[in-house]
Amino acid sequence: MTGENHTDMPTWPQEFREHYANEGFWRDETFAGTIDRLATEYDEKTALIDGDHRLTYAELQQRIHALAAGLSALGLSRGDKAVVQMPNRSAFVEIVFALMRLGVVPVLALPAHRHLEIGRFLEFTEASAFFVADRAGGFDYRGLARELKPNLPSLAHVVVDGDAEEFLSLSSLYRHGETVPDAPQPDDVAVFQISGGTTGVPKLIPRRHNEYLYNIRTAASVSGMGAVTVYLCALPVAHNFPLACPGIIGTLMNGGTVVMAPDPGADTAFALMDAHKVTISGVVPPLALLWMEEAEKRRYRPRSLQVLQVGGAKMSAEPARHVKPKLGCTLQQVFGMAEGLICFTRLDAPEEVIVNTQGRPMSPGDEIRVVDADGNDVAPGETGELLTRGPYTIRGYYRVPEHNARAFTADGFYRTGDIVRLAYGGNVVVSGRDKDQINRGGEKIAPEEVENLLLAHDDIHDAAVVGLPDPVLGERICAFVISRSGQTKTLALNRHLRGRGLASFKMPDDFVFVPSFPETGIGKISKKELREKLKALHLEQISISK
C-alpha cells in the first residue's frame, strides 16, 4: 500500500516472502485481476442471487468496473481507506470489489457495529468514504452517518445503498461503459478485517491481495468447492469466515453461485436452500443448533445441502454428532481467525475426527506450535497455547506497535490465546482460551472495552465483565458492577451503553450488582484474575442454589 511503513504494519521478512512465492502459495495476483479472469471464464453463469435480483459473472464484472469508474471520479484512489458497513446484499460484493480494483482499502465493519466502533474505524484509518445501507434490521444507517460525519474532516463521502437522503446514492455512481485500470499491487493491503480484540479497542487486520487470495483458494479446495457449488451466505458477509474461508469469494473463484440470505433464521435459510439448491453453508454453533432443531421439528431435510461448515466458536462433540442424521450433510468443523490460520476437518475424515476435533491447518505452509506458559513446546498431545505463523497469517496489526510486540513472538508467530492439544493425527482440539475475550456464539467481545464504558457512568464504582457458560451461545456476557449509591439498575446501564454507541452483540446479557469484589489477598490483582474469581464464585453459587 502506498505510504506504508514497517512500524505501521509489520510484514513478512524477505526470506519468508521468497519461500512463499517459491512454494507457489503467492502468485503475484490481485483481486482486480481475479474478477476479470472470472468474467472471462464463467461469463453467463449466475454469480450472485439476492432476492429477485440475479447477476451473471459478466454482469457482476461490468457493474464492478462501472462502480470503480464512478468512485474514481469521486477522487478515491490507491491507498485511501473506506469503511464498508453493509448487510448481506449483492451491493456489498460490488462495493468491495470496486474499491479493491482502485486499491482503496475497505474496512469491513459489521452491521451490528454502532457509532462507537464505526467512529473509531473512520477516525483511525482517516477513511475518505463510508458505505452503508439506508436501513437494515430495523436500524437507520443514515442517522449513524449524520451523527459521525461533522467530527470527521477526512470523511469526504457517505454513500448509501437505497434512499440516500442528503448523501450520495450508490446507484448514481455507476458509470457504465467506462473502465479504470486496476491499481493495486499484489503486496498491497486488500481489506482490513476487524479483530475480536482482547484490549479496549478492536484492532485492524491488514489482509493483502496475494496472501488473501491464497487463503481463499486453499480454503475453497479443502471445502471441495467447484463450479456446481451453491453457497448460502447466512452469517454477516463481512466476517472472514463467510467472506473468504472459503465463503462467497471462494465460491466465486470457482464459478459457483452465491445466495445472499438477508437473515439467518430457519424460515429464510430453508426456503433459500430449496429454491436455489444450496450445496454448502457456513454457520456458528448456535445457528447450527437452531437449524438442526427446526429441521427436526418440521421433519425437513435440506436435500441439496452437502456440507455444513461450523466455526467461530467450539461445537461440542454431542451436537456435532447430530449434524449428519438431522441435516443429512457432512459436518466440516472450521477453527479459524481473521488474523490468518484456518483449520478444517477434511470432508473424508473419519467420523471421530469430524466430531471430536476442530480440524487441521489447511496449508502445508502453516507452522503451529503448542507452548506452555514459558513459551516452551509441550510434549506431543499435551495442552498449551497455540502459536502460528504461515503464508496467510499476519505479522502485525495496523498501527499498534506496543500491542504487536505482545501479540507476536520475536520470530513472527501469532499468539492465538487459544488453548489446544493436537490429537487424531495432528488435528487441533480446542479446549479453552487464555485471552481476555468472550466468545458469544462466535462474536468476540473484549471485556475491557465494556468495562471501560461502564466505568464512565457516574454511579459505577467498579465493573468486571465475564463470560459465563450458556447452553446455546457457548458463553454469555455478564457484568458484575458496584454501584456507588446502590440505586443504579439494569435498565439505566443498558441505556448508558447504548448511548455510548456500543454494538448490540457486546451488550451484557446479565448485570449482577454486588457490594464489593472478592478479597484477593495481598496487593492488587489483575482484572483478569478478578474476572476468573467472580466467574468461579458465581458458578459455585448457582450450583449451590440448584
Q: Which residues bind ligand OOB (CB under 6 A)?
A: 196, 240-241, 245, 311-314, 333-338, 342, 358, 416, 418, 430, 433, 439, 442, 444
> Minimum Å distance from CB 392 to ligand OOB?
11
Nearer to ligand OOB, 311 or 467 (CB): 311
Nearer to ligand OOB, 264 or 312 (CB): 312
Nearer to ligand OOB, 283 or 327 (CB): 283
> Minimum Å distance from CB 443 to ligand OOB?
8
Rounded CA-CA distance 158/250 in Å is 29
Nearer to ligand OOB, 170 or 502 (CB): 502
CB 158 within 8 A of CB 130: yes
Nearer to ligand OOB, 70 or 474 (CB): 474
Nearer to ligand OOB, 245 or 477 (CB): 245
| Enclosing H/E stretch for 157 | strand 157-161
CB 30 within 8 A of CB 186: yes
Nearer to ligand OOB, 48 or 337 (CB): 337
Name the burial class of residue 420, with classes exposed (0-12), middle (13-18) and buried (19+) by CB atoms within 10 angstroms of its CB. Answer: buried
> Minimum Å distance from CB 299 to ligand OOB?
29
> Minimum Å distance from CB 244 to ligand OOB?
8
3-state secondary structure string across 166-178: CCEEHHHHCCCCC
DSSP E strands in 186-339: the ranges are: 189-194, 204-208, 230-233, 257-260, 280-283, 307-311, 330-337
CB 192 within 8 A of CB 112: no
H helix intervals, 149-265: 209-222, 240-244, 247-252
CB 320 within 8 A of CB 354: yes
> Minimum Å distance from CB 247 to ligand OOB?
8
Torsion over CA: 52, 58, 60, 63 (sign)? negative
Which residue's beta carbon is nearest to the bound ligand OOB? 336
CB 527 within 8 A of CB 141: no
> Minimum Å distance from CB 488 to ligand OOB?
32
Neighbour-count burial for 168-184, b at 16+ CB within 10 Å, e otherwise: bebeebbbeeebbebbb
> Minimum Å distance from CB 203 to ligand OOB?
10
> Minimum Å distance from CB 359 to ligand OOB?
8
Nearer to ligand OOB, 10 or 441 (CB): 441
Rounded CA-CA distance 491/293 in Å is 32
Rounded CA-CA distance 371/477 in Å is 29
> Minimum Å distance from CB 236 to ligand OOB?
11
Residue whose entry in the numeric block shows the C-alpha cell 463510508: 130
- Name the grid cell of 5: 511503513
For residue 197, the SS3 value is coil
Nearer to ligand OOB, 419 or 537 (CB): 419
